Amino acid sequence: MWATDKKRVYLDHNATTPVRPEVLSVVCEAMSRPGNASSVHTEGRSTRLEIESARDIIADQTGSEASGIVFTSGGTEANIMALTNKIELNGQWMDVSNLLVSAGEHASVMSGGQVDSAKINYIPLNSQGAVDLEALDKLLNISAEVEGISLVSIQYANNETGIVQSVSDIARIVHAAGGILHVDAVQAFGKIPLDIEQIGADFMTLSSHKIGGPPGAGALVRGRGAIRIPALLKGGGQERNTRAGTENAPAIIGFGKAADLIDVSEGSIADIRSMRDGLLSELMRISPDAVIHGHQSERLPNTLCFSVPGIEAETAVIALDLEGISISAGSACSSGKVGPSHVLAAMGVSDDLARGGMRISLGWSTTNDDLRRFIQTWQSLVNTQLSLDNCQVA
Rounded to the nearest 10 degrees, what angle do helices 21-31 and 249-260 cross at? 150
Distances (CA, A) of 74 to 207, 215, 251: 5, 7, 10
Distance CA 223, CA 68 (A): 7
Return the beta strands (E) in 308-393 as ranges. 325-326, 358-361
Q: Are 126 and 132 in contact (CB under 8 A)?
A: yes
Beta bridge partners of 361: 12, 303
For 190-225, letters b (16+ CB in 10 Å) and e give: bbbebebeebbbbbbbbbbbbbbbbbbbbbbbbbee
14 three-state secondary structure: coil
Question: Which is the catalytic residue, given 28, 305, 333, 391?
Answer: 333
How far apart CA 252 and CA 72 sit, in angstroms, is 9
3-state secondary structure of 218: strand
User: How far is residue 177 from each of residues 143, 145, 153, 171, 199, measured CA to CA in Å?
Assistant: 9, 11, 15, 10, 17
Task: Tell me how crowded residue 339 is: count the other CB atoms within 10 A of its CB.
Answer: 11
Of residues 5, 1, 16, the one with CA closest to residue 328 = 16
- Pairing relation of β-strands 218-222 and 69-72? antiparallel
- 189 bridge partner residues: 192
**Whole-number Å distance between alpha carbons of 44 and 49:** 9
Q: Give first-to-last CA distance, the chain, whole Å.
A: 38
Residue 333 appears among annotated catalytic residues: yes
Q: Which residues are part of the catalytic machinery?
A: 333
